[in-house]
Structure formats: C-alpha cells, structure tokens
Amino acid sequence: MSERIQQRVEIDGGVAVGVDGSASSLRALELAAEETRRRGTTLHVVRAWSMRTVPRPPDCPPGATPTIDEYETSVTDTLRHVVETAIGTEPGFPVEYHVAHSPSPQALLSASRGAHVLVVGHRGRGGFSGLMLGSVAEQCVRHAACPILVVRPSY
C-alpha cells in the first residue's frame, strides 16, 4: 500500500462531517457547513472507503486493474465534486478533505478525537432501511470523543 494512503483521520479542531453521497450525508454536510460558519473554524469532510465500496475510477480502461492510488484519487475527486456542488467552491471558511482507506466508523471516530463536533447522517448507503439509526451513526453516538449531531435528510 502506498505511504500516502490515509487510514486514520487526524484533525485539530473544527467541525468534522462524514460524507458518502447519500441524502442523509448531504444534509449533514449542509448543517456542518452552517455550524462551521457560526464557529468561524475549519470544515473537515471525511470519506471512508474500502475495496468493496469504492467505485471503479472512470478513467481506468476496461480490463485494467486500478491501483490503490488510482482508487483513492477517484474517491477524493468525487468527494470534492460532491462538496463543491453542495456548498460551493468558496464557502467562506477553510475546507479540508480526509479520504481514509478504512471502515467508516473508524475514520469518523478517529476524526472525533480532534474535532469540536462530529456531524453524521442518520443513515448512509448501508442496507437496513428500517433502523432508527444506521450502524455507523449508532457507533459514532456510542463512541465519539466529541459532541455529535446526527442529521436526518429533509423530505
């Protein structure tokens, strides 16, 4: 694995938000941006990925196997596009991107160790739609090292 592939998220202050592209995570991003603006701090956007959940890089030719660096670059580029579409390219506060090759709960919980607040959607791209909280949000509520805001999507 490349030395630059991040497996843990380390931040120092600010608002951390988990974004996976789901409706709940996009709503969490909007509220995290509002909270960041209010606090006058940095927004830390966290996206965890694994080989099971990462989409194939769009510029990888058919039949070729992408490298882990190509996967990470694709995830980062997609995340930047999602965030810039949601909150603009110049939101009025610093935005830092943290793309971690790890399970979502571990990435978000490691971010919570340095964040002032952690914002997550109530349900992401996981499979159990009947749950009140998704498994990631539930683990964050139970184990986060900072205050946490769990956001439902607007309907």
Q: What digits encode the pLDDT tens for the residues 97-121?
A: 999 999 999 999 999 999 999 999 9
**CB-based burial label for 133 (10 Å; 0-12, 13-18, 19+):** middle
Residues 65 and 82: beta-carbon distance below 8 Å? no
User: Euclidean distance between the first and final Cα of the chain, in Å?
Assistant: 41
Q: What digits encode the pLDDT tens for the residues 74-100?
A: 999 999 999 999 999 999 999 999 999
**CB-based burial label for 129 (10 Å; 0-12, 13-18, 19+):** exposed
120 token code pair: 């997550």
Q: What predicted TM-score, i.e. pTM, was given to this entire model?
A: 0.88
Nearest one of 139, 103, 100 to 120, comparing CA atoms: 139
When pLDDT is cut at 50, 70 and 90, the band that residue 145 belongs to is very high
Residue 9 CA to residue 16 CA, distance in Å, equals: 10
Task: State yes or no: pLDDT of 56 exceeds 80.
Answer: yes
